[in-house]
């Protein structure tokens, strides 16, 4: 018998173009209806790319027609307003452009500060580079940039012959941050339009070259930096960082809701500061445990992994040597490496 569950399961065979993940895990299947042998499906894409829409529609129709009992198939593919052939050209998302040479842009986000989002960003970037990917890391925290410190680099970017900023390189990762352009302890006192302009320049006036991943370290919350990024480029996904306690997970839900509103697929949740192992081997769950895994299950997204509370992680960030580079065989580094491997397989 045809059921919505059977239809959804069948659609897991349809991969998003350029990714190894399917359209169901990306949350693109929004509505399934069955009327006898007639099946209709509504898909909400995150990109205005007409080629991707056509490929997904064709693949979905083929999969559904192969199901026993299906006589007629209708697949509606919705795209952001302003996409070719759609109304709404004035929609702010319609002016998105891909960054030349960058295959995937992944935002690392959190609903609140203090959850170790930048720590996850730098170690994830270095782990992906160690796995052989070409990686860039963009620090979009304009008011409180921490990537220069955590990546152990203070040099100013140079200019190319095309008068673009050449991103400094460390640990195999190309880097850009407002911190490279400021004197030590110089504050940034800007209104929203300046934030928007800076982020646009960091995306398109930087010579990123060919990258498999451009990770974007976002500031906490859902403000100017997040909206500017989503309006400027189509994001290929977001990684959400939380700590286990409800105070963090509750705010993280707002960050996830923001991504959903702007049609950005959530690649998964990372639970940072998950637990502490005492010298005698006792596991101490200082902030509780399981909040990240539970929220991932509730939202139907991937749980990418747990990062224990290790002194070596904090020390590495303070010294400018991410733990995956300074102590690659440690338990802390292995935790980050496992998350990078999961992310690499899924994208």
C-alpha to C-alpha distance for 153 and 164, rounded to whole angstroms: 19
Select the more confidently predicted residue: 82 or 264. Answer: 264
- Give me the count of residues in the chain: 347
Residue 244 has pLDDT above 90, yes or no: no
Residue 82 pLDDT: 46
What's the pLDDT band for 90 if we cut at 50, 70, 90?
very low
Residue 86 pLDDT: 41
122 CB neighbour count, 10 Å cutoff:
33
Contacts of 47 (CB under 8 A, 6+ apart): 53, 79, 80, 234
Does residue 110 contact residue 241 with C-beta atoms inside 8 Å?
yes
Residue 87 pLDDT: 38
What's the pLDDT band for 84 if we cut at 50, 70, 90?
very low
Residue 162 pLDDT: 85
Select the more confidently predicted residue: 287 or 75. Answer: 75
Residue 222 pLDDT: 64
C-alpha to C-alpha distance for 115 and 250, rounded to whole angstroms: 13
C-alpha to C-alpha distance for 184 and 169, rounded to whole angstroms: 20
Phi, psi of 171 (to 5 degrees): 55, 30
Phi, psi of 192 (to 5 degrees): -50, -45
Which of 61-65, 140-144, 328-332 comes out lowest in average pLDDT? 140-144
Q: What is the mean pLDDT of residues 139-151?
A: 89
The radius of gyration of the chain's CA atoms, rounded to the nearest angstrom, is: 21
Q: What is the mean pLDDT of residues 162-171?
A: 92
- Which of 127, 147, 124 is CA-nearest to residue 328? 127
Q: What is the mean pLDDT of residues 295-316?
A: 89
Q: What is the mean pLDDT of residues 62-82?
A: 86
Domains of the chain: 4-94 (3.30.300.130), 96-346 (3.40.50.300)
**Percent over 70 (pLDDT), the chain:** 90
Q: What is the pLDDT of residues 42-59, one digit of tens each?
A: 998 866 677 888 899 999
Predicted TM-score of the model (pTM): 0.74
């Amino acid at each position: 018998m045809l059921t919505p569950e059977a239809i959804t399961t069948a659609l897991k065979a349809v991969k998003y173009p350029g990714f190894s993940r399917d359209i169901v895990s990306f949350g693109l299947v929004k509505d399934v209806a069955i009327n006898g042998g007639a099946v209709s499906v509504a898909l909400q894409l995150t990109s205005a790319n007409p080629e991707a829409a056509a490929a997904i529609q064709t693949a979905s129709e083929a999969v559904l027609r192969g199901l026993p009992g299906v006589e007629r198939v209708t697949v509606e593919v919705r795209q952001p307003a302003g996409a070719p052939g759609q109304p709404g050209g004035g929609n702010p998302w319609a002016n998105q452009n891909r960054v030349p040479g960058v295959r995937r842009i992944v935002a690392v986000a959190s609903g609140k500060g203090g959850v170790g989002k930048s720590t996850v960003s730098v170690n994830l970037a270095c782990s992906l580079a160690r796995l052989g990917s070409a990686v860039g890391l963009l620090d979009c925290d304009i008011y409180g940039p921490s990537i220069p410190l955590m990546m152990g680099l203070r040099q100013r970017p140079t200019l190319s012959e095309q008068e673009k900023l050449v991103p400094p390189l460390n640990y195999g990762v190309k880097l850009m941050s407002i911190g490279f352009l400021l004197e030590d302890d110089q504050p940034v006192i800007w209104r929203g339009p300046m934030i928007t302009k800076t982020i646009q320049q960091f995306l398109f006036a930087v010579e990123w070259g060919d990258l498999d991943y451009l990770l974007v370290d976002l500031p906490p919350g859902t403000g100017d930096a997040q909206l500017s990024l989503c309006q400027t480029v189509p994001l290929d996904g977001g990684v959400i960082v939380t700590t286990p306690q409800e105070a963090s997970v509750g705010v993280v839900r707002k960050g996830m809701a923001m991504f959903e509103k702007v049609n950005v697929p959530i690649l998964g949740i990372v639970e940072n500061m998950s637990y502490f192992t005492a010298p005698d081997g006792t596991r101490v769950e200082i902030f509780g445990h399981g909040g990240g895994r539970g929220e991932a299950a509730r939202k139907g997204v991937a749980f990418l992994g747990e990062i224990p509370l290790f002194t070596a992680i904090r020390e590495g960030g303070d010294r400018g040597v991410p733990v995956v580079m300074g102590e690659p065989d440690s338990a802390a580094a292995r935790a980050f490496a496992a998350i990078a491997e999961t992310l690499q397989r899924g994208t």
